Amino acid sequence: MRCLLDTHILLWSLLEPDRLSSQVRQVLDDPGNELWLSPISLWEITILAAKGRLQIESQDINAWLREVMSRTPLREAPLTFEVALTSRTIDVSHQDPADRFIAATAQVYDLALVTVDQRLLQCGQVQTLS
């Protein structure tokens, strides 16, 4: 299975794994699955840290993210022109740019979006897993 992790799924897998459903844990633990991440998720995490809504051990969020990415078997889902254009036409019920880019990335790369965000789960143009 080819899956795109929503930002909160990545954070929960690293910091609060008990919040993940057993189905999501199985998907993340299965070495036969391809796990993908949008650069938008890293951008979103740096914003959360800057606002004080994310506390990590390291003072430097960028260094922490680089270390996480170096030890986590995630593929980068490039932010392309097609993703940018799709982000404006995808049927997401709100205007949150991060969610629009993540949903568009899942659609463009034909990835199942792993999320618990109800607004993204209702997007009929993207396969989801929660």
| Domain count along the chain | 1
**Each residue's pLDDT expressed in tens, for the chain with a length of 130 residues:** 999 999 999 999 999 999 999 999 999 999 999 999 999 999 999 999 999 999 887 779 999 999 999 998 999 999 999 999 999 998 877 778 999 999 999 999 999 999 987 676 576 767 777 7
> Between 39-50 and 97-108, two packed helices, what is the crossing angle to 10 degrees?
160
Cα Rg for the chain, rounded, in angstroms?
14
The CA distances from residue 5 to 51, 74, 97, in Å, are: 22, 9, 16
Q: Which domain holds residue 46?
A: 2-129
- Here the CATH number for the domain that contains residue 26 is 3.40.50.1010
- The string of DSSP codes covering 45-96 is HHHHHHTT----SSS-HHHHHHHHHHHS--EE----HHHHHHHHHS--SS--
pTM: predicted TM-score of the whole model, two decimal places: 0.91
